[in-house]
Amino acid sequence: MTTLTHTVDMSPRRGARWLRHSLVLARRSLAKTSRNPGVIINGVVTPALFLVLFLYLFGNAVAGTTDEYLQYLFPGILVMGAGLTGLVSTGTNINIDLKNGVTDRFRSLPISRLAPLLGSVLADLVRYLGAVVILFLIGLALGFRAQGGLVAVIAALGLAVLFGFCLSWITVLIGVTLKSAEAVLAFSFLTFLPLQLGSSLATPTVSLPGWLQAWVNINPVTSVMDACRALLNGTPAGAPLATTLIWCAAIFVIFCPLAVWSYGRRDM
């Protein structure tokens, strides 16, 4: 009955165990995405719809021609794609795990409390990358021309993914804190409107009324979109790039420890 056909070395291995465990859990998360690719589709289809709608609704009015407007609008859509993928996947996945008992098993294993969360966020990185690359191809098909060169394109895509990664930690915190996956989704979408649309996505900030301009100017999403736009269009990106990196660092430094802490203390 208990005879084993294999001899297995059970002694603990050395090295960065927390990182290895995070990668194992990231692979789990990606395996689930490959069985259920709705998350990526969501992260691609919604921004793509906004892209096409805005382009043909406002293109002529805002920029004179749709071609010119595409150059303005598209970089912001990329950022939206990265932000949206994390919004619907990370928070809800973690919340579902917490409720169905899988998390209890993880938390009773001798692994770092960081690993399940980091695993989920690392998997998100891959999902963002998928969403952003698909969106970029859609943009090219519609006639977008990246004038900043290949390095700038990679930098812009990287920036969008980096911002999505930092934003993930906010959704992780929401996912750990709220009671149900539905609540997480509802809350996430409430933040979606002011953050993603209340930005420089569709029109330059200067054309907005004063109260909205005030919000749009402090909205971190605006600086990410401005930085990506500058990079892709080959204009000077220094200022928005610096602001973006500061925002990314601030969000990460505040929300990552907060998320890990509240995950660890849940029930404890």
Q: Which stretch binds other proteins (CB under 8 A): 1-9, 50-58, 169-177, 182-190?
A: 1-9
Closest C-alpha among 266, 257, 235, 109 to residue 170: 257
Q: Choose which of 87, 88, 111, 256 interacts with other proteins (CB under 8 A).
A: 111
Q: Does 154 bind other proteins (CB under 8 A)?
A: no
Closest C-alpha among 126, 54, 120, 52 to residue 91: 120
Q: Restricting to residues 4-33, which ones interact with other proteins according to CB under 8 A?
A: 4-6, 8-10, 12-13, 17, 20-21, 24-25, 28, 31-32
d(CA 130, CA 90): 15
Q: Restricting to residues 74-103, which ones interact with other proteins according to CB under 8 A?
A: 100-102
Q: Choose which of 47, 69, 76, 104 interacts with other proteins (CB under 8 A).
A: 104
Cα separations (Å) of 127 from 85, 96, 132, 134?
7, 19, 9, 11
C-alpha torsion sign, points 108, 114, 118, 120: positive
Q: And the tokens for 41?
A: 């589709």
Q: Does 106 bind other proteins (CB under 8 A)?
A: yes
Residue number with CB closer to other proteins (24 or 249): 24
Q: Does 118 bind other proteins (CB under 8 A)?
A: no
Q: How many residues does the chain have?
A: 268
Rounded to 10 degrees, the C-alpha dihedral 46/144/248/121 comes to: 50
Residue number with CB closer to other proteins (25 or 232): 25
Q: Restricting to residues 30-69, which ones interact with other proteins according to CB under 8 A?
A: 31-32, 35-36
Interface residue list for other proteins (CB under 8 A)? 1-2, 4-6, 8-10, 12-13, 17, 20-21, 24-25, 28, 31-32, 35-36, 100-102, 104-111, 115, 267-268
